[in-house]
């Protein structure tokens, strides 16, 4: 048996890379910087400096630096990760990589499954830029780029111009001037044959959720195999999170499979509801509201920041999820096997209480009570105190109105375990909120994207109501109009119905060229619910035809997973190509396998099941089953309670993981919205599980 080669590791802390080496039984000695206790390092086959365990790059003490430099001159292999200086190289101070991505550049280095131009994401990492005059100008393995492509760099001409696409591999000396412009952007490269450098924090690639997962594992595997001259098993480290894309029941024609799907969905609901509690999202049983969720930034140590704004839409949507879950528990639905997930000893009344506590946040705290022109306005948040987005306000009031609607229906049902007492609490407040929105709505039934109290007075309000708003956008107006339709059902106020019908007619007159914010897919997804309720209210064939038209058009973007890909015919969406500056679409090019669970697919579980309730057409129930199957499969599972049971915004249906362009300034691929995403999906899943009960109300 060959004697295993001993490796010296210099690092301050344990890390993912160190665990991989240890579990592969690599013979190694670990030193902390400043504590190398041998006179020389001749006994070691190679050396790894793992500095990416700290925000401050490793800077070796002179006595240690002498030892390392001596080994470097002898030709010993050295891997220097996030090391401020080695050899002739020294670097600028650290910078964040939030809107940058890594692209694979080299044709000399081969890594299985990775091609030139492939994009990889180190999330909100940290890197140090080498000063160009002091490092090699050869083609790197990985380089940082500012590119909005999905999984491959959009500007391949950039690769060719810099000599990184292989066409100029033998002309590097003649392209020094061009290459110099990009030298400091290099991320992983051989500075010399025996010196491999990573200018970015790589040590905790797993917990920091570098993506795509398999490609990054192969990058690390390449580095460690080069360092140790040993085959490295990367599967010795448990993945930080995973999804169930390979295990969900996909055959929807088999009875056992359908029952299995119901169990999958039920388990998914349980995980999601558990996320609200265990993840610390719902505060003080709802008495203090609900946090917006998790920001997209994941730092090199795996930490993900919390968005602590209390928003009216998130509060309302989570309130609905808790209410629906209380109904599901109260009705004794047996499709869920709680015992194999978590021990849930909470009574259904607990969930009803949390829901009511959250409603109090919206209607007792975030609603204008003054008897003036602002009466009834739903404040967007405790931060944006005088701002009203009608789409968000609608998703604050729709949940409460659905609670009233389902409570009314449940009291007359005899197959319910415990009779639900009719409860119209806050229905008047919902009406006041809709009244304010109506009086600030244009003659075309649409409202401008938002109103700000500082700019409103009686004269301005009359002006808004006296002219068309010209905002035929599902993003801004579809759920507002849906709220009016549900409000009409509960109160009988003809004004609500009239404005809703007018607004939907305005939007559909522009269809499919509505005002798009993120994508065409988003617009179609947001239209399903309001069109369902429009037909439910009017019974008109024209309105029914609109629902089928939009639903059928949406099928053009359907993926075999049951999800709908981001698409934008003619690339007309406004929120594109503004990387790092504004809100941004996940869409780079039509056909990319990217799914948006913040702006598009998240609306479909409720949309499709409500369409089924309104039409009684099994077609919509099948669509609900398909989207529910996808949601159950794409749900995050992890030992980390902050993400376990949630869904993140960007999902790649080929990689089957969270991955997408990080261009959006606030809501990138790893953003997790408590309301827009988790609560909307969960409520829609529960509605489908209870379809035999709920359909009777329509």
* pLDDT tens-place string over residues 281-297: 999 999 999 999 999 99
Q: What count of Cα atoms within 13 Å lies in the side-chain half-sphere of residue 484?
A: 29
Give 458's contacts (C-beta < 8 A, 6+ positions apart). 373
Tokens representing 311 are 């928003």
Q: Would you state the pLDDT for residue 169?
A: 42
Q: pLDDT tens for residues 143-199?
A: 999 888 999 998 665 566 555 554 444 444 434 334 446 899 999 999 999 999 999
Is the CB of residue 315 less than 8 Å from the CB of residue 279?
A: no
Instruction: Tell me which long-range contacts 358-361 makes (C-beta under 8 A, separation of at least 24).
Output: 358/282, 358/286, 358/289, 358/290, 358/315, 358/316, 358/318, 358/319, 358/322, 359/316, 359/319, 359/399, 359/400, 359/403, 359/425, 359/426, 360/287, 361/286, 361/288, 361/289, 361/290, 361/310, 361/315
pTM: 0.93
CA-to-CA distance for 533 and 548, rounded, in angstroms? 13
Do the domains spanning 7-239 and 254-697 agree at the CATH topology level?
A: no
Q: Please state which CATH class domain 254-697 belongs to.
A: mainly alpha
Beta bridge partners of 367: 378
pLDDT for 674: 98
pLDDT at res. 164: 58
Residues 311, 656: Cα–Cα separation, whole Å: 30
The 10 Å Cβ neighbour count of residue 243 is 19
| Residue 11 β-bridge partners | 50
**DSSP at 87:** T
Pairing of strands 650-652, 119-120: unpaired
- Helical axes 494-510 vs 520-538, angle rounded to 10°: 140
| Token pair belonging to 198 | 């990573």
pLDDT number for residue 653 = 97
pLDDT of residue 347: 79
The residue ranges of the chain whose pLDDT is under 50 are: 1-2, 166-180, 249-253, 255, 333-343, 414-421
- C-alpha atoms less than 13 angstroms from C-alpha of 696 in its C-beta half-sphere: 13
User: What's the fold here for domain 7-239?
Assistant: Rossmann fold (3.40.50)
DSSP state of 364: I
User: 334, exposed or middle or buried, with CB in 10 Å at 0-12, 13-18, 19+?
Assistant: exposed
Q: Where are the beta strands (DSSP E) in 370-516?
A: 387-388, 451-452
Domain-wise residue ranges, the chain: 7-239, 254-697
């Amino acid at each position: 048996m060959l004697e295993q080669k001993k490796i010296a590791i210099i690092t301050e802390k344990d890390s993912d890379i160190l665990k991989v080496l240890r579990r592969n039984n690599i013979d190694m000695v670990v030193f902390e910087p400043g504590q190398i206790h041998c006179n020389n390092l001749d006994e070691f086959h190679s050396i790894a400096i793992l500095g990416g365990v700290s925000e401050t790059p490793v800077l070796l003490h002179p006595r240690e630096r002498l030892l390392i430099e001596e080994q470097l001159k002898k030709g010993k292999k050295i891997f220097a990760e996030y090391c401020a200086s080695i050899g002739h190289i020294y670097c600028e101070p650290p910078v964040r990589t939030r809107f940058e991505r890594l692209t694979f550049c080299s044709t000399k280095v081969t890594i299985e499954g990775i091609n030139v131009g492939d994009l990889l994401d180190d999330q909100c990492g940290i890197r140090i830029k080498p000063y160009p005059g002091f490092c090699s100008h050869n083609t790197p393995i990985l380089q940082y780029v500012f590119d909005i492509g999905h999984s491959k760099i959009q500007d391949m001409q950039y690769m060719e111009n810099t000599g990184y696409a292989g066409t100029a591999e033998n002309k590097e000396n003649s392209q020094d001037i061009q290459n110099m412009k990009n030298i400091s952007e290099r991320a992983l490269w051989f500075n010399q044959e025996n010196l491999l450098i990573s200018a970015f924090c790589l040590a905790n690639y797993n917990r920091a959720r570098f993506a795509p997962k398999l490609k990054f594992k192969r990058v690390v595997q390449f580095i460690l195999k080069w360092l140790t001259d040993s085959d490295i098993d990367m599967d010795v480290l448990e993945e930080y999170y995973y999804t169930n894309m390979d295990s969900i029941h996909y055959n929807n024609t088999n009875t056992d499979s359908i029952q299995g799907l119901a169990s999958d969905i039920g388990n998914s609901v349980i995980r999601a509801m558990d996320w609200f509690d265990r993840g610390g999202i719902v505060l003080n049983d709802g008495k203090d509201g609900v946090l917006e969720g998790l920001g997209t930034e994941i730092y090199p140590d795996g930490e993900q920041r919390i968005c602590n704004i209390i928003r009216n839409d998130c509060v309302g949507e989570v309130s609905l999820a808790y209410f629906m879950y209380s109904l599901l528990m109260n009705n004794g639905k047996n499709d869920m096997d709680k015992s194999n997930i978590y021990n849930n000893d909470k009574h259904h009344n607990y969930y009803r209480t949390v829901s009511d506590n959250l409603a109090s946040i919206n209607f007792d705290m975030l609603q204008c009570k003054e008897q003036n022109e602002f009466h009834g306005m739903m404040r967007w948040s405790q931060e944006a105190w005088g701002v009203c987005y009608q789409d968000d306000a609608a998703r604050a009031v729709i949940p409460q109105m659905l609670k009233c609607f389902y409570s009314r229906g449940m009291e007359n049902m005899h197959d319910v375990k415990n009779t639900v007492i009719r409860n119209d609490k806050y229905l008047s407040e919902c009406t006041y909120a809709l009244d304010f929105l109506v009086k600030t709505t244009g003659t075309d039934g649409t409202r401008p994207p938002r109103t700000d109290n500082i700019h409103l007075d009686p004269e301005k309000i009359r002006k808004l109501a006296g002219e068309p708003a010209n905002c035929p956008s599902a993003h801004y107006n579809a759920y507002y109009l849906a709220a009016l339709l549900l409000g009409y059902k509960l109160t009988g106020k003809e004004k609500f119905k009239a404005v809703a019908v007018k607004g939907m007619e305005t939007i559909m007159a522009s269809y499919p060229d509505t005002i798009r914010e993120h994508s065409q897919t988003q617009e179609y997804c947001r239209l399903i619910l309001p069109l369902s309720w429009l037909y439910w209210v009017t019974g008109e064939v024209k309105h029914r035809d609109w629902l089928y038209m939009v639903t059928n058009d949406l099928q053009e973007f359907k993926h075999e997973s049951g999800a709908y890909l981001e698409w934008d015919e003619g690339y007309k969406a406004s929120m594109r190509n503004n990387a790092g500056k504004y809100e941004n679409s996940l869409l780079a090019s039509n056909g990319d396998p990217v799914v948006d669970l913040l702006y598009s697919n998240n609306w479909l579980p409720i949309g499709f099941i409500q369409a089924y309730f309104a039409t009684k057409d099994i077609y919509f129930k099948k669509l609900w089953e398909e989207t529910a199957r996808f949601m159950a499969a794409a749900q995050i599972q992890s030992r980390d309670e902050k993400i376990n049971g949630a869904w993140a915004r960007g999902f790649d249906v080929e990689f089957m993981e969270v991955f997408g362009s990080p261009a959006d300034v606030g809501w990138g691929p790893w953003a997790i919205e408590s309301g827009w995403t988790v609560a909307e999906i969960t409520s829609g899943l529960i509605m489908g599980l209870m379809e035999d009960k709920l359909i009777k109300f329509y």
